[in-house]
């Protein structure tokens, strides 16, 4: 029994950078999103990832599949103009680690490339919409991404990891702009989409969300740090750090705000 829609998995892409010897280092994750442009089925395409995945780079590499085949094409995508201006759009709040890159729809069509995607207005819910539909602390979630750059040569499938919502209260979002999740997040997962696990059963009198939607985008984990102090000098001699298992996820509303600034929702 499939729990995660196949096109969700196919919408996730590995993001890399090309070295001078043409060797590609895979260092992050992104996912395709769309917004409907008209009643004829035309859409505006986007690539969504973390701001820190793009910053400091002039070009990235993503892999896309040719329609009707299993062939993967490595696509070079410039992300800054000749004058150094980024072609991607950031959220106006500096602490929100999201970047949205508008894509060339004609390039996708001309090169006969598949473009599975999350529809920002259909396959996604804001944190308040999630709460209204029964998502709360303990709700199971999945992270789809390329942990530690683990990319198959002949397949574009991401790695799926299971976790749960740790805190999604209104206060949590307002104070930190994040949903707190319990999941093992490592380098390479930056920019991974978080989706909920659909639930068919719930406690009597409570709601359950019976379909899988985009919850948000993961961007960092919370480290646990332990300081070792010299008993004679009282000075710090070492700081040990490890992954606490808790991670931060920006909810969908911040992705939607960026896309709204690029291409507002059309009334048809």
pLDDT at 268: 57
Nearest-CA neighbor of 12 among 216, 191, 149, 179? 191
Judged against a pLDDT cut of 80, whether residue 183 lies above it is answered with yes
Domain extent listing, the chain: 4-260
Q: What is the pLDDT of residues 214-266, one digit of tens each?
A: 999 999 999 988 888 888 888 888 888 888 999 999 999 999 999 999 999 87
pTM beyond 0.85, yes or no: yes
Among 71, 248, 263, which Cα is nearest to 176's? Answer: 248
pLDDT reported for residue 185: 94
At residue 12 the predicted structure's pLDDT band, cuts being 50, 70 and 90, is: very high
CA gap 156, 70 in Å, rounded: 10
Phi/psi for 54 (5° steps) reads -85, -35
Kind plus residue range of the DSSP H or E element containing 261 = helix 252-262
CA torsion sign for 30, 35, 36, 42 is negative
Between CA 99 and CA 88 the distance in angstroms is 6
pLDDT tens for 45-82 read 999 999 999 999 999 999 999 998 889 999 999 999 99
Cα separation, 58 vs 49, in Å, equals 15
Q: Three-state DSSP class for 8? A: helix
Outline where DSSP puts E strands in 105-262: 118-119, 140-145, 159-167, 179-182, 193-196, 214-229, 236-251
User: What is the third-level CATH fold of 4-260?
Assistant: Thrombin, subunit H (2.40.10)
pLDDT in tens, 194-208: 999 998 777 777 788
């Amino acid at each position: 029994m499939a729990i995660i829609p196949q096109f969700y998995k196919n919408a996730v892409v590995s993001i890399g950078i090309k070295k001078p010897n043409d060797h590609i280092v895979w260092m992050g994750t992104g996912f395709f999103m769309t917004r409907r442009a008209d009643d004829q089925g035309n859409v505006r395409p986007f690539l969504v990832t973390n701001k820190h995945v793009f910053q400091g780079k002039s070009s990235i590499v993503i892999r896309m599949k040719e329609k009707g085949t299993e062939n993967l094409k490595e696509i070079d995508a410039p992300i800054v103009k000749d004058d150094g201006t980024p072609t991607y759009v950031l959220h106006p709040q500096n602490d929100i680690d999201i970047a949205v890159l508008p894509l060339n729809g004609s390039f996708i069509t001309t090169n006969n490339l598949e473009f599975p995607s999350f529809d920002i207005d259909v396959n996604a819910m804001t944190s308040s919409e999630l709460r209204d539909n029964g998502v709360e602390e303990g709700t199971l979630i999945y992270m789809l991404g390329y942990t530690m750059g683990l990319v198959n040569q002949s397949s574009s499938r991401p790695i799926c990891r299971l976790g749960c919502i740790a805190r999604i209260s209104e206060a949590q979002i307002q104070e930190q702009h994040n949903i707190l999740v319990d999941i093992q997040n490592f380098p390479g997962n930056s920019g991974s989409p978080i989706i909920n696990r659909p639930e068919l059963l719930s406690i009597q009198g409570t709601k359950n969300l019976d379909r899988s939607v985009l919850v948000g985008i993961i961007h960092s984990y919370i480290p646990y740090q332990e300081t070792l102090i010299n008993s004679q000098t009282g000075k710090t001699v070492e700081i040990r750090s490890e992954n606490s298992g808790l991670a931060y996820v920006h909810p969908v509303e911040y992705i939607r705000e960026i896309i709204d600034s690029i291409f507002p929702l059309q009334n048809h």
